[in-house]
Copies of this chain bind each other. A is one copy, B any other.
Amino acid sequence: MEAGDLAAGIDVGGTKFLGVIVDADGVVRAEQRRPTPSTGDAIIAALGELAGELSAEAGPYTTLGVGMPGLITTRGVLRASPNVPNVTELDVAGRVGELLGHEVAVSNDGTCAALAEWRWGAGRGVDDMVMVTLGTGIGGGLVAGGRLVVGANGFTGELGHMVVDPHGPPCPCGRRGCWERYASGSGLAHLARVAAVGGRLRRVVQVAGGDAQLVRGEHVQHAAREGDEAALAVIDEFAWWVGLGLVNLTNALDPEAFVLGGGLAQGADLYLEPIQKWFGALLYSSDLRPHPALAFAELGERAGAIGAARFAADRLPRRA
C-alpha cells in the first residue's frame, strides 16, 4: 500500500458484517456493522450498501476486499460457508464488483486475519508464521518465506479439520477427532462437560448454574482464575490438544511464530504457559531446535476486516 491509499475491507461473520477502512499504516479510519442476512442475494446487496457507508464515513476507498469463512476460490466465488449454510457457488467478487462498478477481491477469513496480524499485528516482521484462530471452531492462515500462502484453490488454513484422533468424537464435517473437537471453544466445552459429567468439576458446574450439560468454556476459565484445581486440569488437557496441533503444524511448516486469535485468545493468561509446556514435550527433536514464538493476536475482532482490506490492496488496481 502507498501513502494516501484507503483500503476498505468487510468481514462476513456468522451474525454480523464488520467493515473498516484502513490507511497505509493500518490505522482504522472508518468502522461499520450490520447483521448478516441469510440469502445470497441479500448478502450481495448488503455488501454493496456497507461499502457505501464506509465511503460516506472516511471518503472514497481505493480498493475493496471481503473476507468470509468457508471455501472461497481464488476468483472470489464462495463454494460453501458454515455461516450461510444455504448458499453455494455465490460469485461474491463478480456480483459485488458489478453492483459497485469496480473490482473486488474476496478471500477466506482466516487468511485475511493472518494477513492483518502479519502486516499490522502480532506477526509484524516475521517471514514464516501460522495464524490459528481458536473460536467456536478453528481456522487460520499461513505466511511462508515472507509471502501469504493461499494454495492452489485459495483454500489453505482449514486447520480445524486436521484429524488428530481417528477414534475421537464425531465432527459435523463427517469425520472423527478433528482438531477443533478439542482445541476450540466448543472443544474446551466438550472436555469440560466430559469432566463435569464424571463428577470432577463441582465448582465449574456451580458457576454454570448447576447443570453439567450447560458447562461452557468461560465457566471453566472463571473457575480456573479462582484457582480451582479441577478447572485447571481441564485447561491443562485443553492446552495439550492445542499444543499437539501446533506441533503438527511446526513439523510441517517450521514457523518462526504462531499467532493465536479468536475468542479463546481472550484467555491468554490461562493458556500460554500450559500450551508452551506441552508444545515442548510433544515437538519432534524439541531440545535441538528453537521453538516458535507463541503470540496472541493484537487486532481482535477487526482482524478479518482489516486483513480483507489489505488482501484487496495488495492485489487490485486502485479505483479511478
Per a CB cutoff under 8 Å, which of B154, B161, B253, B292 touches A156?
B253
Q: Which residues of B contact A80 (CB under 8 A)?
A: 285, 288
Minimum CB–CB distance for A300 against chain B, Å: 24
Q: Which residues of B contact A155 (CB under 8 A)?
A: 254, 289
A-B CB proximity, top 3 nearest: A151-B254, A152-B256, A161-B284
Kindly report which residue of chain B lies nearest to residue A156, judged by CB atoms: B254
- Partner-B contacts on A (CB < 8 A): 71, 79-80, 88, 127-128, 142, 144-145, 147, 149-159, 161-167, 173, 175, 244, 247-249, 251-256, 282, 284-285, 288-290, 292
Q: Which residues of B contact A127 (CB under 8 A)?
A: 152
Minimum CB–CB distance for A164 against chain B, Å: 6
A254, B158: Cα distance in complex, Å: 9
> Known interface pairs A80-B285, A288-B80. Does A248 touch B151 (Cβ–Cβ under 8 Å)?
no
> Known interface pairs A248-B248, A289-B71. Does A253 touch B166 (Cβ–Cβ under 8 Å)?
no
Q: Which residues of B contact A159 (CB under 8 A)?
A: 251-252
Q: Which residues of B contact A252 (CB under 8 A)?
A: 142, 156-159, 162, 249, 252-253
B157 and A149: CB pair below 8 A?
no
B166 and A165: CB pair below 8 A?
yes
A297, B104: Cα distance in complex, Å: 39
Contacts beyond the supplied A152-B290, A252-B252: 7 A-B pairs with Cβ under 8 Å:
A79-B289, A151-B255, A161-B251, A163-B244, A163-B248, A165-B166, A252-B253
Q: Which residues of B contact A156 (CB under 8 A)?
A: 252-254
Per a CB cutoff under 8 Å, which of B128, B147, B152, B288 touches A292?
B152
A156, B71: Cα distance in complex, Å: 26
Q: Which residues of B contact A157 (CB under 8 A)?
A: 252
A142 and B253: CB pair below 8 A?
yes
A151 and B162: CB pair below 8 A?
no
Per a CB cutoff under 8 Å, which of B79, B144, B166, B256 touches A285?
B79
Kindly report which residue of chain B lies nearest to residue A155, judged by CB atoms: B254
Greatest chain B CB density within 10 A among A127, A249, A285 is at A285
A23, B254: Cα distance in complex, Å: 31
